[in-house]
Amino acid sequence: MENQIALHERIHELFARYLDAMPGLDEAYHTMTSEAYKGGALDGKTKRLMAMTAAIVAGCRGCILFQTGEALALGASADEILEACAVAISLGGTMAAAETTRVVAYLEERGVLPPA
C-alpha cells in the first residue's frame, strides 16, 4: 500500500493548484466548506467524522485522508475514528471495509495507532 501521508500531501498540492487556477471557485469553495464544518448543533469534530464516514462509503481516497486528518486535528481519538469506520462498513460493505484499511494505515503513519 502506498504511503498515505505522502498521498494526502500530493492530493492537497494538486487541488491547491486547481483552485489557484480558478480564483472565483476557490473563494466559493472555502466559504461553503467553512460554513459547513463550523461548530453549531454538531461540533466540528463530529462533522469531520461524519464526512470521513461518507468518504469511506463513497471510496474517495483524498476525502478519506483529508477528513481523517481534520478529525484528528479537532481531537478525535483513534477509537472514535475506528468506530466511525465501523458505521461506514455497515453502510458500504466490503468496499468500505477495503477503504478503511487506508484509514488504519494513515493512523499508523501518524503514530496515532501502533503498527500491528
Residue 116 placed within a domain: no
In order along its 116 residues, the chain shows pLDDT tens digits of 799 999 999 999 999 999 999 989 999 999 999 999 999 999 999 999 999 999 999 999 999 999 999 999 999 999 999 999 999 999 999 999 999 999 999 999 999 998 87
pTM, entire model:
0.93
Closest CA to 85 of 73, 71, 100, 70: 100
Q: What's phi and psi for 22, nearest 5 deg?
A: -130, 70
Query: Which CATH number does the domain housing residue 55 bear?
Result: 1.20.1290.10
Residue 83 placed within a domain: yes
8 contacts 52 by C-beta, under 8 angstroms: no
pLDDT at 108: 96
Count of domains for the chain: 1
Buried b (16+ CB within 10 A) or exposed e, 79-102: eebeebbebbbeebeeebeebbeb
pLDDT at 25: 93
Dihedral, CA of residue 68, residue 109, residue 89 and residue 82, to nearest 10: -70
Residue 13 placed within a domain: yes
113 conformational bin, left if phi > 0, alpha if psi -120 to 50, beta if neither: beta
Residue-number span of the structural domain to which 46 is assigned: 4-110
Residue 48 placed within a domain: yes
